[in-house]
Structure 1
Amino acid sequence: MSGARIPPAAGSGISLEEQHRIERISGELRTGVAELGDLGPAISIFGSARVAEDSWEYRSAQSLGKLMAEAGVSVITGGGPGVMEAGNRGARSGEGRSIGLNITLPHEQLANPYVDTDIAFRYFFTRKFMLIRYAMGFAIYPGGMGTIDELFELLTLVQTGKLQPCPMVLVGHDYWSGLYNWLARECVTRGYIEPADLDLLEVVPDEEVAAEVLLDKIRR
């Protein structure tokens, strides 16, 4: 029967609690695929949830969302405030598809008001899978732990061949140049990564250059 739970087999080592968790994970993946399977060209925008509406990050991400929407490219964000809200807001003003993949947190994060397609996730890894799976490029604005986690997970997936090479732009020289230079100075010099690994990233000054890089590589 559709939707019926199958009890764990004797000796399987899978508890009922774990089976329920597996079902929830599977359900989140099915929902995401059903909603985004026909998406077409899209980018994901990452960045801090804590930036204010009058910050350059917000204004830039909003402009980038609009530029991408006007070029026929959908915008995916984490669905929350700050840079995420700005990207969705720009996509909507550019009459494009604005997608928010929200995460359920102890202190509830509500979807921003500029999301057209809102999908809520309980698990970070299923949400990150969807943020990556349906995007053809990525714009990473300044942010904290979550943003840096998303950036390095992307780099790891491409470096290890689990994800096809795709454009990744770090928007904001002042914020990202130090990290890029540290990777070159420390990681490359010590042999922890190859010089070519840094070619996966491009540090850009603003949304106009970001849009040029993303659209150029998406359209190839």
Structure 2
Amino acid sequence: MSTAHDAERPVPAPRLRPAEGPGLHAVDEEERDYRRGPVRLRGSQRPTRTTDQRLLESDGPADWLHADPWRVLRIQAEFVEGFGALAELGPAISIFGSARTAREDPNYARAEEIGGRLAELGFAVITGGGPGIMEAGNKGAKEAGGVSVGLGIELPFEQGMNEWVDLGVDFRYFFARKTVFVKYSSGFVVMPGGFGTFDEMFEALCLIQTHKITKFPLILVDSGYWRGLLDWIRTTVADYGTISPGDLDLIQVVDTADEVIDVIRAARA
């Protein structure tokens, strides 16, 4: 029901654009297409300022730095920097494992030996660039005269690149970093580690299983460490029917540097 107050309220005139030819009717401005690149906007989605106007304004909050479109550009930049840095690297093997592994741990010495032996075969060695197993792999490669690469990641706690990295790239995003690992590696050597190591191992395993990557050796080192996980996959997971019986054949489990090198040589042949 209308009221006297309603009657006195001015009614805004619709924004119309003139007809543009014989037989054309005026169109409500709100219904016109507003195009911003590939995006088409109408009605309440129409902006009040153009993209150029917003670009050229010098004042205002910096919230845009944390907006999704800007994140997309940062993600793109990470791929460009990573691809550019490693494009001429040549054949490489990634070594994964715990950042918490002490230098006195036998697996530190084992990772160092593996890094050196891979370098002697002509492979660059890629790690996450941090301490522990990563440091050991980089150290072995560098001391053997090979190329030692670290792909670091921004974390809440400081890690930094270890001193044995010759070529280092830091990433904000795990998924961008993992893509670079896979793209420039001819195989993964997985030492004992925690959730980050599991993430990298299962990422590679999934890509091999789904044929996203082929002829890619995935080697787990230290059968005693991995036995419980593999037994669970072999029984509970396989019995439940969520993997195929032959999927575990995609993984090779070894205990020595000699065995790692044998697997890598066979894969290369």
TM-score by length of 1: 0.91
- Structure 2 unaligned segments of length 5 or more: list them: 1-35, 46-62
The CA distance in 2 between the partners of 1:169 and 1:183, in whole Å, is 16
- Equivalent position SS for 2:139: helix
Q: 2:200 aligns with which of 129, 141, 150?
A: 150
Runs of at least 4 residues of structure 1 off by over 2 A?
6-13
Amino acid at match of 2:103: E
* Structure 1 residue 21 corresponds to structure 2 residue 61: no
The residue number in structure 1 matching 2:80 is 30
* Structure 1 residue 207 corresponds to structure 2 residue 262: no
- Per-residue CA shift, 1:95-121, capped at 9, x if unaligned? 000000001112122000000001000
RMSD of aligned Cα (Å): 2.0
TM-superposed deviation, 1:29: 0.3
- Equivalent position SS for 2:214: coil
TM-superposed deviation, 1:165: 3.6
- Structure 1 unaligned segments of length 5 or more: list them: 1-5
TM-superposed deviation, 1:132: 1.2
The CA distance in 1 between the partners of 2:228 and 2:264, in whole Å, is 22
* Structure 1 residue 43 corresponds to structure 2 residue 43: no
- Equivalent position SS for 1:163: coil
The CA distance in 2 between the partners of 1:20 and 1:107, in whole Å, is 25
The residue number in structure 1 matching 2:48 is none
The residue number in structure 2 matching 1:3 is none
Given that residues 177 and 203 in structure 1 are in contact (C-alpha distance below 8 angstroms), is that contact kept between their aligned partners in structure 2?
no
**Identity among equivalent pairs (%):** 45
Given that residues 75 and 91 in structure 1 are in contact (C-alpha distance below 8 angstroms), is that contact kept between their aligned partners in structure 2?
yes
* Structure 1 residue 172 corresponds to structure 2 residue 234: no
The CA distance in 1 between the partners of 2:137 and 2:235, in whole Å, is 32
The residue number in structure 2 matching 1:131 is 181
The residue number in structure 1 matching 2:209 is 159
The CA distance in 1 between the partners of 2:175 and 2:226, in whole Å, is 25
TM-superposed deviation, 1:207: 1.7
The CA distance in 2 between the partners of 1:79 and 1:99, in whole Å, is 7
The CA distance in 1 between the partners of 2:227 and 2:256, in whole Å, is 13
The residue number in structure 1 matching 2:107 is 57
TM-superposed deviation, 1:215: 2.4
TM-superposed deviation, 1:11: 4.2
The CA distance in 1 between the partners of 2:89 and 2:152, in whole Å, is 17
TM-score by length of 2: 0.75
Amino acid at match of 1:58: Y
- Per-residue CA shift, 1:133-185, capped at 9, x if unaligned? 11011100010110011111111111112222410110001101221121111
Higher relative contact order (CA 8 A, sep 6+): 1
The CA distance in 2 between the partners of 1:157 and 1:120, in whole Å, is 24
